[in-house]
Amino acid sequence: MSSPENVHEPLAGSVLVAGRYRLIERIGSGGMGVVWLAHDEVLQRRVAVKELRHSWGSSDRSVAAGRERSLREARAAAALRHPHIVAVYDIAAQDGQPWIVMEFVPGRSLKEIVAEDGPMPVERAVDIGLQLLSALRAAHAVGITHRDVKPANVLISADGAVRLTDFGLATLPDAETLTETGAIIGTPGYLAPEQAKGLPPGPPADVFGLGATLYYAIEGVGPFQREAYLPTLVAYARHDIRAPRRAEALAPTLLRLLAADPVKRPTAEQARKLLLGGAVRRPILSRRRLIATGVLTGAAIAAGAAGRWWRPEWPSRAGAASPSPPPSPSGVGAVVWQRDDLYNPVEVGSLLIGAAADGARAVDAATGEVRWLWRSDDAQYVYYAGDRLVFVGGRDGGRALDVATGRDRGARGQGFASAVDGLVLTGEKPRTLIAYDVVTGRRLWQVAGRGEFDGQIHLSPSGVLCAAVSSATTDGPSYLYGIEPRTGDLAWRTLMTEKGAVLGPWDAGKDLYAVTIDKDTWKLSRHDAASGERRWEVSLVDVKKEASAWIDVSQVVTLGALTVTSLTDRRISLTYSGVIAVENGVARWRRPLLSPTVLATTDGRLFAATYDSVLHELDPATGQTVWSTATPGPVDYLLEGAGMLLACIGEGVTAYPLTR
pTM, 2 dp: 0.55
Alpha carbon 539 to chain centroid, angstroms: 23
CB 202 within 8 A of CB 429: no
| Residue 523, annotated as binding a ligand | no
- Own/partner long-range contacts of 113-118 (Cβ < 8 Å, ≥24 apart): 113/156, 114/151, 114/216, 114/217, 114/220, 118/220
- pLDDT tens figures, 340-359: 888 889 999 999 999 887 88
Q: What share of the chain is helix, strand, coil (3-state, %, to 5)?
A: 20, 40, 40
- The radius of gyration computed from the CA coordinates of the chain, to the nearest angstrom, equals 25
Comparing CA positions, the residue from 254, 255, 224, 222 lying closest to residue 239 is 224
CATH assignment of 4-103, among 3.10.50.40, 3.30.70.520, 3.40.30.10, 3.30.200.20:
3.30.200.20
Comparing CA positions, the residue from 207, 221, 316, 212 lying closest to residue 268 is 207
- Decide if pLDDT at 207 tops 60: yes
- CA dist 460 and 462 (Å) reads 5
Quick one: pLDDT band at residue 95, thresholds 50, 70, 90? confident
- pLDDT tens figures, 191-204: 899 888 878 888 99
- pLDDT tens figures, 150-161: 999 999 987 678
- CA triple 530-531-536, angle to 5 deg: 105
Based on the residue annotation, tell me whether 148 is a catalytic residue of this protein: yes
Higher pLDDT, 313 or 48: 48
Q: Which amino acid is at 280?
A: V
Q: What is the pLDDT of residue 283?
A: 27
CATH assignment of 107-280, among 3.20.20.110, 1.10.645.10, 1.10.510.10, 3.90.850.10:
1.10.510.10
- CA dist 553 and 396 (Å) reads 29
Catalytic residue among 60, 90, 117, 148: 148
- Please state the three-class secondary structure of 589-603 as a single string: EEEECCCCEEEECCC
Q: State the chain's maximal CA–CA distance in angstroms.
A: 77
CATH architecture of 315-341+548-660: Beta Barrel (2.40)
- pLDDT tens figures, 504-542: 888 877 889 988 877 667 788 999 999 999 999 988 755
Specify the DSSP class assigned to residue 219. Answer: H
> Domains of the chain: which residue ranges?
4-103, 107-280, 315-341+548-660
Alpha carbon 571 to chain centroid, angstroms: 11
- CA dist 565 and 538 (Å) reads 12
Peptide bond into 505 cis (omega under 30): yes
Classify burial at 284, counting beta carbons within 10 Å of its beta carbon; exposed 0-12, middle 13-18, buried 19 or more: middle
- CA dist 325 and 121 (Å) reads 33
Cβ neighbours around 183 below 10 Å, total: 19
- CA dist 208 and 608 (Å) reads 33
Q: Average the pLDDT over each of 14-28, 128-142, 163-177 and give the range with the smallest value.
A: 163-177
- CA dist 323 and 38 (Å) reads 46
